[in-house]
Amino acid sequence: MPSQNTTGFSPARGSPAFREMEPKDQQMPANALLASCPQVALRIRPLSEAELEEGATIIAHKLGDQAIVLMDPGEDPEDTLRAHRSRERTFIFDMVFDQHSSQEDVYSATIQHLVEGVISGYNATVFAYGPSGAGKTHTMLGMDTEPGIYLRTLTDLFQAIEETRDNMDYSVSMSYLEIYNEVIRDLLNPSSGFLDLREDSRGNIQIAGITEVSTLNAQEIMQLLTRGNRQRTQEPTATNKTSSRSHAVLQVTVRQRWRGPDLAEEVHLGRLFMVDLAGSERASQTQNRGKRMKEGAHINRSLLALGNCINALSEKGGRGQYVNFRDSKLTRLLKDALGGNSHTVMIAHISPASSSFEESRTTLLYAYRAKNIKTRVKRNLLNVSYRIAQYTDVISELRREIEHLKSKIEKQEKNKSGPGIPDVQVTVPPNDAEDESHLQMNKIRAQLIRAFKEQMEMRHSLVELENTNLELHVDLSRHLLTIADWEREKSDLHMQREQDELEKEEELAETDGEDAPTEPQEVAVAREEVNLLLAEHRKTSALKAGLEQRLALAKQKASQMETLLPTQVTSEDQREVLRLLCRAHELEVENTELRADNLCRKTLLCQKDLVIQHCRQHQRLCEQLIRGQRQLMHDSGIQVPEALERQYQLYFRELGEDTLDRLLLLHSGMASSLQDASVLNISSLPEASQAQHKDKKNLPWGLQSELLPLLLERDSDGNKSLKATASRKPGRQDSLLPPPPLRTRLTPPMLELNPPAALSVQARKEMALGTKSIARIAASRRSKAQDRDSSSSRSSRHLEEAALDSKDQKPNPSPAEKRWLPASPSRDRSVERKARRKRSPSVTCGVQLMTEKPPLSVEHFTESQLSLGHLQPSKSSGKSFFPAVPTASKTKPNLSFHTEEATLHVPEVSFTFPSPTWQSSAGSSRAPLLPRDIRGSADSGGQHHSPLPPSNPRGRQGGSAKRPQRPR
């Protein structure tokens, strides 16, 4: 045990002072990694007056220091039938506090021990979680008479600093912000507007432009906090008179500089996050409307994202599982606290009232889950023995110079003392000229270093801005997809109504007056966010343009210096030094480029999935249009030209053969393997991203930026609408009836297109069995052939196999997968649209293709109050649908970040997609054709596979059959 020092303060574990006292064999490396689990505490507040008035009883009881029993208020002890279905449950946490626990009890048991860690360079995070009105703000901020965790922590922090001041230099700064409706506001300087959250090239999250106050006085900080808290968005709701409608984050940064007796110096940077989360809420309980409801949706959405991260991280310790921190600002900000380098304490809060049973249960499950997270905590050591390192460099440089001079002198001596020539005393030339050149050299070197440093800073900032822009694009794409989805749904509804009118003409008057479908809340939110994101994008682009100009100037200056240098430097040694300096700079630039590439690749992969989704959306629209037009032609008795009919056949044959689906499957498989590859630093990037990035004016979803105003134009209902996707009001005949048999000049049976029938479960199973054995045979043949083939052709075949395997091994579509099949009915669309918003773009493909459960929506979350069962990701989600998709062989790694132009060039990649070798369609009476082998088994089931959408957009059973025949 370390002995107590004279100040009485036991130095923080791991601090230099502590290590000095520690026996040598027990000393830890300065920045050793420590595995850590978050501590999860639970606090039960007293019953409130309102709860007492409504006659609520206490159902949450503390058992000992760590257990809590939550009783089911709906349980009837005399109902023996329901006895085994009781929802009563006991939970164990690290600490449990009830109504008798004081603020001091909570603080000393949960946070106090973190203070010394923060001082010595560790990160720590405390967050208060729980439903609205459960007591989070009370715990964090407290009252004047009973201060909460904020003040207690800061007081202890400053006291500890005061006690070790003799050996250390400290600087403490703090910032206080809120995340309200997914925008960040500086609570210490609210007039600064919305702030940007950025990730620097080292992956650190930063908030651009946040006010950082430096102080060493807890009272001063408390005053600032109280002032900041007045700026925090608080509104009365049905559950809490002073409900916080935002997440508040107090960040305290402690920089500790340790001055040793020699020249050694260590700088530690500890960060403490204290987060008062907004309360989760059920829309039904809060009875919120309008603005409050929108706030609630935002709060729930970010808490859902937090819950998803907790789930992903707690699955097998988060190893190997993709954790999507990007779904909300809150999770991005807490990235380190949750899954990285931080000691974390979560204090869950519940009300003991019987009326809050559901909320309490969900909160307990949520908190319980968080216990499984594993973090790896590391001390942030900024600078170890910086001065010593500096001097060591100088000394070794001098040594080298001495050696060099010695050998020179020896050489000269040898030359001069040749045979027959008497020894000559070597005289050292006068030093004046050397000194002057040395001074000159130092000056040049300093100038060059300054210029390089300046350039590097600008390059780093450019990378950050570029990354921010890409992230904005991804967000924008997601919101635009949500809007486009809704527009499509709206257009389907219009179409459906018109059909209904046809069917029941006598009821026309009734349906005529029907209102336009009301726009869902998330679409309105998406529209708002699109505007915000566009404004942000403009700001960032302007900043970037300015920075690029400055970088160009700096480069110009540096190149002028480069031309001047050879004339000023005379000695070979000096040249060598300068050459090394330039080389070091080059390497640094390369390093930045690689980091930028990596960041860019990750973001583009996310974006690419959205582009694919957009393509799918557009494809469906095209299908609907083609069907409608064919119906119209048929109804009007228009003869279809042969060439057009052939094209039509080809179009549906391609759909039948799933060519597009297969490409998209392959594409998403490539994306996920690329994502893995990025960890291994394999250079490759799909071509879609290249296409997007080539033209910077292009919006990420593949539309020209000029289209945006069009997209957001207001329609006749006064709503902003996506004209590009669904502006055309469908005509009467432009319905989604099955394509009628057309009168053409070709033989009628060949062209008759029947409505596509869905495969039965049995047929799908048979297909899967059949294709599995085909896949096995093919696999054994392939492995033989691969042995013979050269390595290059081997890799190209792999790619084709991946596509075939993925197709062949495709199981019966799960509910999530079904949405990817072109036949997805429109009734699924709203769920799809909502779900997409909650998923990370990059996970979307994986989740949709690989999981069995459809993802959650905000509404779902609101209703079920974060029920654990819903939040838990499917076990299969981590498994790749493409077991062996090769990437490197077929891709042209051409990742280049041309810093000369200070622009990010997206890599060029070329894929060779496998050409499907299905049987020709000739002679078939069905439009969508199956592969020969598959067709056999499908036919045996009496069903026909078709990827075409069902004839009825609402997916009504037998809708098309019921429809009256139109006059022809």
- State which residue, 237 or 672, has the beta carbon closest to ligand ATP: 237
**Interface with ligand ATP, residue 835, by CB under 6 A:** no
Residue 253: its H or E element = strand 247-259
Q: Taking CB under 6 A as the rule, does residue 242 contact ligand ATP?
A: yes
Residue 19 CB neighbours (<10 A): 18
- Tell me: does residue 770 bind ligand ATP (CB under 6 A): no
For strand 194-199 and strand 33-36, is the pairing parallel, antiparallel, or unpaired?
unpaired
Applying CB under 6 A, which of residues 123, 153, 243, 540 lies at the interface with ligand ATP? 243
Q: Which of 56, 95, 121, 138 binds ligand ATP (CB under 6 A)?
A: 138
Window 309-348: residues binding ligand ATP (CB under 6 A): none
Stretch that binds ligand ATP, among 41-49, 212-220, 524-532, 753-761 (CB under 6 A): 41-49
877 is in an annotated binding site: no
Decide: is 251 part of the binding site for ligand ATP (CB under 6 A).
no
Tell me how far apart the 2 most distant CA atoms of the chain are, in Å.
Answer: 130
User: Has 136 been labeled as part of a binding site?
Assistant: yes
Give the contact letters, 148-187, x = binds to ligand ATP (CB under 6 A), - = no.
----------------------------------------
* Cβ proximity to ligand ATP, 46 vs 813, nearer residue: 46
Please report, for residues 667, 805, 925, the alpha-carbon distance to residue 659 in angstroms, rounded to integers and kept in the order given. Answer: 12, 14, 20
Is 133 flagged in the annotation as binding? yes
Shortest distance in whole angstroms from residue 335 CB to ligand ATP: 23
Q: How many CB atoms lie within 10 A of CB 476?
A: 24
Read off the tokens for 213.
Answer: 């106050």
Pairing of strands 124-129, 265-276: parallel
Task: Say whether 134 counts as a known binding-site residue.
Answer: yes
Exactly one of 19, 122, 127, 136 binds ligand ATP (CB under 6 A); that residue is 136
Decide: residue 468, CB within 10 A, 0-12 exposed, 13-18 middle, 19+ buried. buried
Q: Is 110 in the site for ligand ATP (CB under 6 A)?
A: no
The nearer residue to ligand ATP, 133 or 950, going by C-beta atoms, is 133
- The DSSP-derived string for 800-846 is HHHHHHHHHT--SPPHHHHTTSTT--GGGHHHHHHHHHHS-HHHHHH
- In terms of CB distance, is 19 or 136 closer to ligand ATP? 136
One residue of 42, 96, 134, 177 binding ligand ATP per CB under 6 A: 134
Residue with tokens 């000049």: 745
Shortest Cβ distance from residue 239 to ligand ATP (Å)?
A: 7
**CB 104 to ligand ATP: min, Å:** 12
Tokens 């008179």 correspond to 241
Return the beta strands (E) in 106-167 as ranges.
124-129
Count of residues near ligand ATP by CB under 6 A:
18
Instruction: Name the minimum Å distance from CB 133 to ligand ATP.
Output: 5
Quick check: 574 binds ligand ATP (CB under 6 A)? no
DSSP H or E run through 850: helix 841-850
At a CB cut-off of 8 Å and minimum separation 6, what does 238 contact? 285, 286, 287, 288
Tokens of 146: 């009973």
Rounded Cα gap, residues 615 and 603, in angstroms: 19
**Residue 38: CA atoms inside 13 Å, Cβ hemisphere, count?**
31
Q: How far is the CB of 609 from ligand ATP (least distance, A)?
A: 34
Q: Is 283 annotated as a binding residue?
A: no
The contact pattern for ligand ATP, residues 729-758, with x = CB under 6 A and - = no contact, is ------------------------------
Residue by residue, DSSP assigns 496-509 as: HHHHHHHHTGGGHH
d(CA 143, CA 617): 53
User: Could you tell me which stretch among 126-134, 600-608, 738-746, 857-865 binds ligand ATP (CB under 6 A)?
Assistant: 126-134
Binding ligand ATP (rule: CB under 6 A), the pick from 38, 117, 228, 279 is 279
Q: Confirm or reject binding of residue 725 to ligand ATP (CB under 6 A).
A: no
Kindly tell me which of 43 and 837 has the beta carbon lying closer to ligand ATP. Answer: 43
Select the residue interacting with ligand ATP from 68, 278, 606, 904 (CB under 6 A): 278
Strand partners, 276: 128, 248
The span from the CA of 615 to the CA of 660, in Å, is 10
Q: Taking CB under 6 A as the rule, does residue 823 contact ligand ATP?
A: no
The reply on whether position 142 binds ligand ATP by CB under 6 A is no
Residue 138 beta carbon to ligand ATP: minimum distance, rounded to whole angstroms: 4
Q: Tell me: does residue 46 bind ligand ATP (CB under 6 A).
A: yes
Of the candidate spans 222-230, 239-247, 392-400, 920-928, the one that interacts with ligand ATP by CB under 6 A turns out to be: 239-247
Residue 296 engages ligand ATP in binding (rule: CB under 6 A): no
> 279: closest CA among 230, 312, 252, 241?
241
Integer Cα distance of 589 and 191 in angstroms:
37
Q: Which is nearer to ligand ATP, 45 or 343 (CB)?
A: 45
Number of other residues whose CB lies within 10 A of the CB of residue 948: 21
Choose between 287 and 383: whose C-beta lies nearer to ligand ATP.
287
Q: Does 840 bind ligand ATP (CB under 6 A)?
A: no
Q: How far is the CB of 280 from ligand ATP (least distance, A)?
A: 8
Q: Is 42 in the site for ligand ATP (CB under 6 A)?
A: no
Which window, 129-137, 158-166, 778-786, 874-882, contacts ligand ATP (CB under 6 A)? 129-137
Q: How far apart are CA 729 and CA 492, in angstroms?
A: 10
The helix-helix angle for 841-850 and 659-680 (nearest 10°) equals 120
| Segment lying near ligand ATP (by CB under 6 A), choices 23-31, 45-53, 700-708, 836-844 | 45-53
Task: Give the range of 132-140, 172-180, 263-271, 854-862 binding ligand ATP by CB under 6 A.
Answer: 132-140
Q: CB nearer to ligand ATP: give 279 or 886.
A: 279
- Output 38 or 133, the one with its CB closest to ligand ATP: 133
For residue 544, which amino acid is it? K
Q: Which is nearer to ligand ATP, 39 or 240 (CB)?
A: 240
Closest CB to ligand ATP among residues 300, 946? 300
Place of tokens 């060039």: 905
Q: Which of 121, 135, 841, 928 binds ligand ATP (CB under 6 A)?
A: 135
What is each CA distance from 464 to 197, 595, 842, in whole angstroms? 10, 10, 20
Query: Which region holds residue 702: left if phi is over 0, alpha if psi is between -120 and 50, else beta?
Result: left
CA distance 190 to 439: 51
Ligand-binding site membership of 135 (annotated):
yes
Which residues neighbour 206 within 8 Å (Cβ) at sequence distance 6 or greater? Answer: 197, 198, 199, 200
Q: Which residues of 504-522 are buried (b: 16+ CB within 10 A; e: fewer)?
A: eeeeeeeeeeeeeeebbbb
Between CA 111 and CA 212 the distance in angstroms is: 23
Radius of gyration, CA atoms only, the chain: 34
- Does position 844 interact with ligand ATP (CB under 6 A)? The reply is no
- Beta strand ranges found along 118-218 (DSSP E): 124-129, 168-180, 183-186, 194-199, 205-208, 213-214
Rounded least distance, CB 41 to ligand ATP, Å: 13
**Does residue 240 belong to the site contacting ligand ATP (CB under 6 A)?**
yes
Distance from C-alpha of 461 to C-alpha of 547, rounded to nearest angstrom: 8
> Taking CB under 6 A as the rule, does residue 947 contact ligand ATP?
no
Stretch that binds ligand ATP, among 40-48, 156-164, 210-218, 852-860 (CB under 6 A): 40-48
Residue 132, marked binder: yes
Q: How far is the CB of 349 from ligand ATP (least distance, A)?
A: 6
Beta strands in 277-389 (DSSP E): 343-350, 375-378, 381-384
Binding residues (CB under 6 A) for ligand ATP: these are 45-46, 48, 130, 132-138, 240, 242-244, 278-279, 349
Q: Which residues are annotated as a binding site?
A: 130-137
Q: Which residues are annotated as a binding site for ATP?
A: 130-137
